[in-house]
Structure 1
Amino acid sequence: MTNSTAATALQGRTLVVSGASRGIGLAIAVSAARQGANIVLLAKTAEPHPKLPGTIYTAAADIEAAGGNAVPVIGDVRKEDDVARLVETAVDQFGGVDICVNNASAISTDPTDELSAKKFDLMMDINVRGTFLLTKACLPHLRKSPNAHVLTIAPPMNMSPYWLGVHPSYTLSKYGMTLLALGWAEEYREAKIASNCLWPETYIATAAVTSLAAGSELAESSRSPEIMGDAAAAIVARPSDEVTGQCFIDSDVLRDAGVTDLSRYGGGDNPIPDLFLDAAEPKS
């Protein structure tokens, strides 16, 4: 793909994304917008958060500044009616849905004996139920798209005892997203609806990282969300019948696309490897 082709690869295509008021979701939306995509974003943040930057409206402004069309929809990915309204908005405004991005996610790494049932339910409801609801609502319209993609922000299935044991409930919720994505790749292969996962090679400087006790220090060794945005845009620009059923790592996607220098995404010389990757597992 030439540079000029890449710059307009998503021109006129419609992408719906959950949890896009900031962080990785917003970065994906902005990167797709730079290639001319229409973005319909779902998030709960209508009013400024006291500790977190951005609202669904500032996100929409960022998307439009990048060259795309943006329609913000206030809602909760856990609620079927809100998800249906998101997809209906995409169809009403832009005529359909070409790309479904399951980004919204909750995390708690508390040990099992300290993890509250409320946090457990939240992870299952947002990560697994939300991914199911959004994809299900998009499917009738994805079937009509000439290049349909589902992209889920979830890790490769690493059955190492370490990742199974370090935070079982969070692992369960993220692997649940992965299993859905890989299952959909087979379920809708004949319909030519691609379904893939994308996961970062390193920590990403989002609120999930900066809100930790050593957040500022960790952020210095984390890459920016833009690396996930650019990798996501590269995946969904490809023909759907050529790329499905895979768990991609952001840096590998960009290197395959010819990006040899990842320094512009930050993180320093030794960025922190992300969860679920062998490089991040403590060596005995």
Structure 2
Amino acid sequence: MSKLRNRTVFITGASRGIGRAIALACARQGANVVIAAKSDTPHPKLPGTIHTVAEEVREAGGQALPLVLDVRDEKQIRQRIDEAGEHFGGIDALVNNAGAIRLTGVEKLKVSRYDLMHQVNARAVMACSQAALPWLKESDQAHILSLSPPLNLNTRWFAQYGPYTTTKYAMTMLSLGMAEEFKRYGIAVNTLWPKTLIATAAIEFEVGGPQLMAQGRKPDIMADAAVSILGRSPDTMTGQNLIDEDLLRQDGMTDFEHYRYEPGDKPLMPDLFLD
């Protein structure tokens, strides 16, 4: 029996990309999935809304609750997390997946864009974790998982897009702090990052365009790694900065070809922050 069956997983930014993949992977394990994102109505360029993903979750075998959520809104965060907890009778895991990216240096970046990245990346980890804490304390399999990288202080990761880097590293530093702070509550706090580029809308529209997609993997590899983490007892893994492929190898997986976005032998591109 799956360790996620009947467990409630609250996922931010879950209407597309990695968030959607994690939602469906949890659903296949029989979880209750809260699809929390701003995407209430269809976007002209990007497929998927909280409602379409909710239907996919149900078809995959999970229970679904789509909720409109802007992770910049502290009051709305608390309302939505409490709504989810009351609907399903608890919350067992929070996945901080919502993200904002702009690979621009200090000279050219608008301060308003930095504010957005800080709010959606770093600030949301604190706000969502704080709001979910009363519910997580009541769970015997409580997890907070944030999609952020290991701390790599090589200056190459700061030289061209220091503002983005600092907001992603802040997510990781908050997670390391919460792992220690929440140990007494039996809550595991970890981060997860891809070893290779993941083919998502963020890559297509914000980073390098469609040509980069062929050098990436599908979001499913991150989803499988996330399920591996969330299914573990909280006392077995906390305070870790995990990499998707490395974690799945520890689980015994050896073949990763099915995760390629496009079949072939084109070299995969390592993701940011990994030397």
TM range, smaller chain:
over 0.9
Q: What code does the residue aligned with 2:268 have?
A: P
User: Is the 8 Å Cα contact of residues 27 and 225 (structure 1) preserved in structure 2?
Assistant: yes
Q: 1:101 to 1:163 in 2, by over 3 A?
A: same
Task: Kindly indicate whether residue 190 of structure 2 is the aligned counterpart of residue 196 of structure 1.
Answer: yes
Q: What code does the residue aligned with 1:147 have?
A: Q
Of 112, 117, 122, the match for 2:106: 112
User: Is the 8 Å Cα contact of residues 127 and 173 (structure 1) preserved in structure 2?
Assistant: yes
Q: 1:214 to 1:17 in 2, by over 3 A?
A: closer
Q: 2:47 matched to which residue of 1?
A: 53
Q: What code does the residue aligned with 2:89 have?
A: G
Tell me, what secondary structure is at the counterpart of 1:105?
coil
Q: 2:24 matched to which residue of 1?
A: 30
Matches within 5 A, 1:65-144: 65-144=59-138
Q: What code does the residue aligned with 1:276 have?
A: F
Shift of 1:189: 1.1
Task: Kindly indicate whether residue 269 of structure 2 is the aligned counterpart of residue 272 of structure 1.
Answer: yes
Task: State how far apart, in whole Å, the 2-side matches of 1:187 and 1:63 are.
Answer: 33
Query: Per-residue displacement from partner, 1:169-210 (whole Å, max 9, x unpaired)?
Result: 001100000001111000011211000000000110100112
Tell me, what secondary structure is at the counterpart of 1:205?
coil
- Structure 1 stretches of at least 4 aligned residues deviating more than 3 Å after TM superposition: none
- TM-score, scaled to structure 1: 0.93
Q: 2:169 matched to which residue of 1?
A: 175
Q: 1:165 matched to which residue of 2?
A: 159
In percent, how many aligned pairs have the same letter? 47
Unaligned segments of structure 1, at least 5 residues: 279-284
Tell me, what secondary structure is at the counterpart of 1:149?
strand
Q: 1:245 matched to which residue of 2?
A: 239
Q: What code does the residue aligned with 1:62 have?
A: E
Q: What code does the residue aligned with 1:224 have?
A: K
User: Is the 8 Å Cα contact of residues 102 and 206 (structure 2) preserved in structure 1?
Assistant: no
The aligned length equals 272
Task: State how far apart, in whole Å, the 1-side matches of 2:99 and 2:130 are.
Answer: 17
Query: Per-residue displacement from partner, 1:135-176 (whole Å, max 9, x unpaired)?
Result: 101101111100110000000000111112231100110000
Task: State how far apart, in whole Å, the 2-side matches of 1:221 and 1:58 are.
Answer: 28
Task: Kindly indicate whether residue 215 of structure 2 is the aligned counterpart of residue 221 of structure 1.
Answer: yes
Shift of 1:9: 2.0
State the superposition RMSD in angstroms. 1.2
